[in-house]
Structure 1
Amino acid sequence: MTEEVSVPESHPRYESLLTRHRIEAGVERGITSKQGLIAEGRGEAFDYLLGEETTDSADRAARAAAAYLLSAEHAVVSVNGNAAALVPEELVELADVTGAELEVNLFNRTRERIEAIADYLREHGAEGVKGLDADARIPGLDHERAKVDSDGIYDADVVLVPLEDGDRAEALGEMGKTELVVDLNPLSRSPQVATVPIVDNIIRAIPTITEHARELAGDPAAQQAAIETFDADAALADAKRRIREVEA
């Protein structure tokens, strides 16, 4: 869905314009909901305040997330419409490197959207995409994001939840799961309750997690060190400080 972008990479707003195009194309394809356009605009505003770059604290968070995924007994990457539209190939690569599964999970859920996203992920190399069965429910939620696969998110010990809903993030935490959240808003409930809040743009965060996973693979001691030295509260505080100190 990115081949129609005519903006040169040298354009100072190239990444932002590319992201907008992917979301727009996702809506046209039936992958992304119209509400996803609003969510993307909100995220872009925070990215601007954060300097549109991966901070040192976000990089450390990505490394910790990679370590958790690699050391998990059963890791699952939750995929919604925006995530699928923005980084489909990158999500598939992350799953391949870490051994995690991909599961489609939507707030505005229809069978057609679930199948469209699963098909789109398969087009980018995914195998065995979950989310179609929805034969289990996350306790305490009344909306459609409660529906998960019993052998997927419901059974997972570690879940990467990019662009997450705050109430589901809280509910997953109450189930005892280790949550890795990608969210540009450090004030949102999702990163506030996450084991690892990654305050970064998903188009940078997912490749960064994968890069760290490649480095940490096969080294349990390094994985444990990345987990033990990560401080979630410090990461959130750093992101908030970065926003407050942004220059006009």
Structure 2
Amino acid sequence: MNDSSPTQDPEKETETETETETEIPQDHPRYQSLITRHRIEEGVDTGITSPQGLIAEGRGEAFDYLLGEKTTSSADDAARAAAALLLHAEHPVISVNGNVAALVPEAIVELAEVVEADIEVNLFNRTEKRMNAIADHLYDHGAQTVKGLKADDQIPGLDHERGTVDADGIGAADVVLVPLEDGDRAAALDAVGKREIVIDLNPLSRSALAATVPIIDNVIRAVPNITEHASALKQADNVALTTVINRFDADEVRERAEQEIRRGELRSS
């Protein structure tokens, strides 16, 4: 091997390979996908997301590609039911992990305001530094209160850090929105009687199967869509909200989403 070959300057390589959102052309056919990847990568650099979050994003992106990277009618039906469930809840909580904080911080804050829900950080790879980084990130995007730092309660059946919650947050919630998959935690929350709204691009995941309302959609579309439906339903009484909730069929939505994915056509990238 010839060791005399020129090497590229590391700082120059980083500068040329790292894109910012403003450098990604909006007419690129995969614009939204590239923006999403960039935000996850940036989150890793700032300590908000973990490297495992990149893998999770890639897995979800594959399903989204087959869905045509759009919100299907079944996902929209689920988003409306989710809005009704959050508005009807006595104590709704939105659970936030690193990927969610990196991808849709403003949308999470807006949804929490519309449905009067708490926001709580809950992580698989939990460290005090990362918890504070995510909380600060949410505050920077308009959150008034962020829970999860007290860590004074535990979800039964989860020995891992994912089971660590705030007693007056997820611990006391009757409805929990869990954006992005986490099968063990979804099952544990279901076991203690909490109703769950899960956003997951895989209709066959344990999270989607455990959910009261599974939304088979990309989180960047699903969260604003729930907010839009919640705003429309904001003045509805409990009878009307209950009707929306009771008419929702989770099994049907999962089946419709699965068929959409199986029929997915290859699209140019």
With normalisation by structure 2, the TM-score equals: 0.90
- Whole-Å separation in 2 of the counterparts to 1:204 and 1:8: 20
* Shift in Å, 1:4: 3.9
**Percent identity over paired residues:** 66
Q: CA deviation digits over 1:141-179, x for unaligned, max 9?
A: 111100000000010000000113101100000110010
* Shift in Å, 1:8: 2.1
Q: CA deviation digits over 1:35-59, x for unaligned, max 9?
A: 0000000000000011110000100
Deviating 4+ runs (over 3 angstroms): 2-5
Taking the TM superposition and a 5 Å limit, the aligned residue runs for 1:52-131 are 52-131=69-148
In structure 2, the residue matched to 1:185 is 202
Unaligned regions of 5+ residues in structure 2, if any?
1-18
DSSP 3-state at the match of 1:180: strand
Within the alignment, does 1:241 sit opposite 2:259 as a pair? yes
Q: CA deviation digits over 1:98-119, x for unaligned, max 9?
A: 0001000000000000000000
With normalisation by structure 1, the TM-score equals: 0.97
* Shift in Å, 1:78: 0.1
Unaligned regions of 5+ residues in structure 1, if any?
none
Within the alignment, does 1:225 sit opposite 2:225 as a pair? no
- Whole-Å separation in 2 of the counterparts to 1:135 and 1:30: 24
- Whole-Å separation in 2 of the counterparts to 1:147 and 1:164: 17
* Shift in Å, 1:218: 1.6
Say whether the 8 Å CA contact 1:80–1:106 is kept in structure 2. yes
Taking the TM superposition and a 5 Å limit, the aligned residue runs for 1:162-201 are 162-201=179-218
| Aligned length in residues | 247
In structure 2, the residue matched to 1:40 is 57
Say whether the 8 Å CA contact 1:5–1:18 is kept in structure 2. no
Q: CA deviation digits over 1:47-102, x for unaligned, max 9?
A: 00111100001000000000011111000000000000000000000000000010
DSSP 3-state at the match of 2:214: strand
* Shift in Å, 1:5: 3.4
- Whole-Å separation in 1 of the counterparts to 2:95 and 2:124: 12
Which of 144, 148, 161 aligns to 2:178? It is 161
DSSP 3-state at the match of 2:198: strand
Which of 28, 44, 48 aligns to 1:27? It is 44
Greater Cα radius of gyration, structure 1 or 2 = 2
Q: What is the one-letter code of the residue matched to 1:43? A: G
